[in-house]
């Protein structure tokens, strides 16, 4: 009995000792409960503070992560979670994505008219960011599964924000069905890994050694099953089918959040997971599978986007193509590709929120839901037109914007990896990525084409609010600065990665 009590005491002490590294998550959990509690009050004055309460929680979480100065990684919850430089940088991006989503929500007219559920809405954004933080810190397969499901459940409910909207209900149902399927397949694959290695911690040397000694076919099958769950969150083929429907049915701030937060978290999880599969001889099949998935995702995303007439669907398939591009970047084994991937994720955050804010203004003020309805609006509202052009050129990967630098870094890493390994798959990925960047220009340029080269016969005069103008400028500024001074971000990323597990 004394031995059991001693064992329990040691475990509790270990959990308490690592709790400090989870301060950002505790802050988010506390503010989530606070939002739900405050929302119970019916006074309008109290309801009005809900978004600012949510912003306070996210800013507090952001500040804690910015000020974190741990020289080494910190274990938490008996080794299930690790707080290191990679997790901290990802957490900063997640907090920023949550802050941006709430700022867009405050400016969103349909959300302003929502009769009830404001506290739940903002609380779920915090819960989603909390789940993203846990995904980035997870080094245990079971913890990864629980974190992904935390994000998924919050995402399902956020998609259903407009419960009276038939399209939102349909989107949420499809999202849940795809999510349940991918989660089940992923969990099945994780059970194979546990059976083969006897461990769920996929960052240890013993896990990697056990995989080397196991049957190659079994390991490949298990990896493919696990990647099903990761691909769902990153919206990569063949688990991308939810994206167009959800992008159409969810509120615009939620869509902007989905296009960044879960994608970034899934990439961080894959970054950690791939450390066990870097041997090119033993895991050639796994790497080939990822290469094929990257090419297929790039092709589906880019070519399907060409035929879209609705801006939301166009950007949904654009998001799929970015998922393929990120998968390509993750295959540059033998190079220092992590910093390039994180740089691209940071740039993607500003590009996506910028273009979705532009679409939100157009939808709220001018009821635009087709590309043709943009005709001539760039001349009527030059500020909006120029901002949209900046974001779309950056998404394409053209200078003088940071999207070009991000793609250049990743292409350079893939080429370097090809020179080191001689793997023809990497050369094929490089050529495919460059060619499909050209294809991307054709669908991204559609919006500026309608904005500036088509006539508009409307005499409607739209007054753009100062807050919308400032937020558009806020998202555009880093894209210009990081083109000319990318080392400002890269140096910081490398300093953070020096503290990585």
**Residues 18, 73: Cα–Cα separation, whole Å:** 11
Summarize pLDDT for 6-16 with one digit per residue, the tens.
655 655 555 55
| pLDDT > 80? residue 267 | yes
Residue whose token pair is 């940088």: 89
CA distances from 70 to 107, 131, 269 (A): 37, 22, 21
Summarize pLDDT for 421-478 with one digit per residue, the tens.
888 889 999 999 999 988 999 999 999 999 998 877 666 677 788 999 999 999 999 9
**Residues 342, 355: Cα–Cα separation, whole Å:** 20
pLDDT at 75: 59
Structure tokens that stand for 468 in this block:
């919308």
Summarize pLDDT for 232-258 with one digit per residue, the tens.
989 998 888 899 999 998 999 999 999
**Sign of torsion over alpha carbons 93, 388, 369, 237:** negative
Looking at every residue in the chain, the average pLDDT score rounds to 88
Mean predicted confidence (pLDDT) in 313-339:
90
Q: Using an 8 Å Cβ cutoff, are 179 and 152 in contact?
A: yes
**Sign of torsion over alpha carbons 350, 356, 357, 362:** positive
* Domain ranges (residues) in the chain: 297-501
The DSSP output letter for 374 is G
pLDDT range class, residue 214, cuts 50, 70, 90: confident
**Count of CA atoms in the C-beta half-sphere (13 A) of 408:** 13
pLDDT at 1: 53
Q: Using an 8 Å Cβ cutoff, are 454 and 375 in contact?
A: yes
What are φ and ψ of residue 138, in 5° steps? -75, 135
pLDDT range class, residue 51, cuts 50, 70, 90: very high
Residue whose token pair is 């088509």: 454
**Residues 42, 416: Cα–Cα separation, whole Å:** 60
pLDDT range class, residue 71, cuts 50, 70, 90: very low
Q: Flag the least confident range among 73-82, 130-139, 298-307.
A: 73-82
Q: Helical H runs in 306-401?
A: 311-329, 338-366, 377-380, 382-396
The DSSP output letter for 161 is S
Structure tokens that stand for 255 in this block:
């869509």
């Amino acid at each position: 009995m004394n031995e059991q009590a001693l064992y329990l005491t040691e475990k509790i002490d270990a959990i308490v000792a690592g709790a400090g590294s989870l301060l950002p998550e505790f802050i988010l959990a506390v503010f989530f409960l606070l939002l739900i509690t405050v929302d119970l009050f019916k006074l309008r004055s109290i309801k009005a503070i809900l978004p600012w309460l949510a912003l306070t929680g996210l800013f507090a979480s952001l500040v804690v992560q910015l000020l974190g100065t741990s020289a080494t990684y910190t274990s938490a919850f008996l080794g299930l979670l690790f707080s290191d430089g990679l997790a901290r940088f990802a957490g900063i991006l997640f907090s920023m994505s949550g802050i941006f989503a709430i700022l867009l929500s405050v400016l969103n007219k349909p959300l302003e008219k929502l009769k009830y559920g404001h506290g739940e809405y903002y609380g779920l954004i915090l819960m989603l960011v909390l789940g993203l933080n846990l995904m980035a810190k997870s080094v245990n397969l079971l913890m990864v599964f629980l974190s992904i499901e935390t994000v998924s459940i919050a995402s399902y409910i956020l998609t259903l924000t407009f419960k009276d909207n038939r399209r939102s209900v349909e989107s949420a149902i499809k999202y849940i069905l795809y999510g349940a399927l991918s989660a089940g397949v992923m969990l099945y694959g994780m059970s194979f890994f546990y059976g083969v290695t006897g461990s769920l911690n996929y960052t240890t040397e013993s896990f990697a050694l056990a995989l080397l000694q196991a049957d190659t076919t079994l390991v490949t099958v298990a990896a493919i099953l696990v990647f099903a769950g990761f691909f769902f969150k990153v919206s990569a083929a063949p688990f991308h089918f939810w994206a167009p429907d959800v992008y159409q049915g969810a509120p615009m701030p939620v869509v902007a959040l989905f296009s960044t937060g879960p994608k970034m978290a899934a990439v961080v999880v894959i970054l950690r997971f791939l450390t066990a599969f870097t041997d090119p001889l033993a895991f050639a099949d796994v790497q080939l599978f990822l290469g094929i998935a990257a090419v297929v995702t790039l092709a589906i995303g880019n070519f399907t986007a060409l035929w879209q007439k609705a801006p939301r669907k166009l950007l949904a398939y654009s998001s799929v193509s970015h998922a393929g591009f990120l998968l390509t970047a993750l295959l540059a084994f033998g190079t220092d590709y992590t910093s390039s991937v994180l740089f691209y994720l940071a740039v993607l955050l500003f590009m996506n929120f910028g273009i979705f804010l532009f679409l939100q203004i157009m939808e709220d003020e001018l009821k635009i839901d087709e590309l043709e309805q943009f005709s001539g609006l760039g001349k009527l509202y030059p500020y909006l037109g120029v901002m949209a052009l900046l974001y779309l050129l950056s998404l394409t990967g053209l200078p003088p914007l940071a999207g070009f630098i991000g793609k250049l870094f990743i292409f350079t890493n893939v080429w370097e990896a090809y020179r080191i390994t001689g793997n023809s798959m990497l050369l094929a990925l490089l050529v495919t990525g460059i060619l499909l960047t050209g294809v991307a220009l054709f669908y991204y340029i559609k919006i500026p084409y309608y904005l500036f080269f088509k006539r508009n016969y409307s005499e409607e005069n739209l007054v753009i609010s100062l807050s919308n103008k400032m937020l558009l400028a806020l998202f555009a500024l880093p894209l210009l600065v990081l083109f000319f001074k990318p080392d400002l971000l890269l140096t910081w990323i490398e300093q953070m990665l020096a503290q990585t597990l």
